[in-house]
């Protein structure tokens, strides 16, 4: 299945709405395996992401949960909430979760897969992404900056780029 592309031209002056979801163990950023993930906290990444969104004309909502079903609920709730697109770092669920893949396919909104590390350079079990078939793209390996680069890419897609 082809990933969803831009669905609508942005209304004149109407901000885009982006939901950013981070999955399990990402609340531990700052101290978690800094060689892979750096030392920036998730709170700091969120603060920078919201500010970059403002600069780009996008309202960014940020969430973190350790629970697979909560991620499904957050994805499924995007259309009722008027969300235009998604940033998703599903953590280890990236490599395992058909439930989250199905949620992404069901909502059909543009989603960018985000990773702080580059999973392709790590263990073999991290090289498969279950999320990829439902994503317009992926940004990986730039630590916290991956989220901001992913937002730039998503906004471009939503604006028809």
Chain position carrying tokens 């069901």:
106
Q: Is 115 a catalytic residue?
A: yes
Binding-residue pattern over the window 71 to 90 for ligand DQA, x denoting contact by CB under 6 A: ------------------x-
Pick one of 48, 52, 126, 159: the residue that binds ligand DQA (CB under 6 A): 126
Q: Does 143 bind ligand DQA (CB under 6 A)?
A: no
Residue 46 contacts ligand DQA per CB under 6 A: no
| 129 binding ligand DQA? (CB under 6 A) | no
Least Å distance, CB 19 to ligand DQA, is 17
The active-site residue, picked from 46, 93, 115, 147, is 115
- CA 89 – CA 65 distance, rounded (Å): 11
Q: How far is it, in rounded angstroms, from Cα 26 to Cα 39?
A: 12
Is 147 a catalytic site residue? no
Binding residue count for ligand DQA, defined by CB under 6 A: 10
Q: Please name which of 101, 131, 96 lies closest in space to residue 114, comparing C-alpha atoms.
A: 131
Q: Which residues of 71-105 are buried (b: 16+ CB within 10 A; e: fewer)?
A: bbebbeebeeeebbbbbbbbbebbbebeebbebbe
Question: Which residues contact ligand DQA (rule: CB under 6 A)?
Answer: 25, 89, 91-92, 94, 115-117, 119, 126
């Amino acid at each position: 299945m082809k990933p969803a592309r831009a669905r609508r031209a942005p209304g004149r002056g109407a901000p885009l709405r982006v939901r950013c979801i981070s999955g399990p163990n990402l609340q531990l950023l700052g101290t978690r395996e800094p060689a892979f993930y750096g030392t920036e906290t998730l709170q700091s990444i969120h603060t920078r992401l919201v500010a970059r969104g403002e600069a780009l004309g996008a309202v960014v909502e940020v969430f973190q949960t350790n629970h697979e079903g909560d991620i499904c609920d957050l994805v499924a709730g995007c259309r009722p909430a008027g969300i235009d697109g998604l940033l998703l770092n599903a953590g280890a669920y990236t490599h395992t979760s058909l439930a989250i893949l199905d949620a992404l396919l069901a909502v059909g909104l543009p989603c960018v897969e985000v990773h702080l590390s580059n999973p392709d350079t790590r263990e073999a079990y991290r090289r498969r992404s279950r999320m990829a078939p439902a994503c317009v793209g992926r940004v990986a390996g730039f630590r916290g900056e991956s989220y901001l680069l992913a937002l730039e890419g998503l906004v471009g897609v939503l604006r028809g780029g």
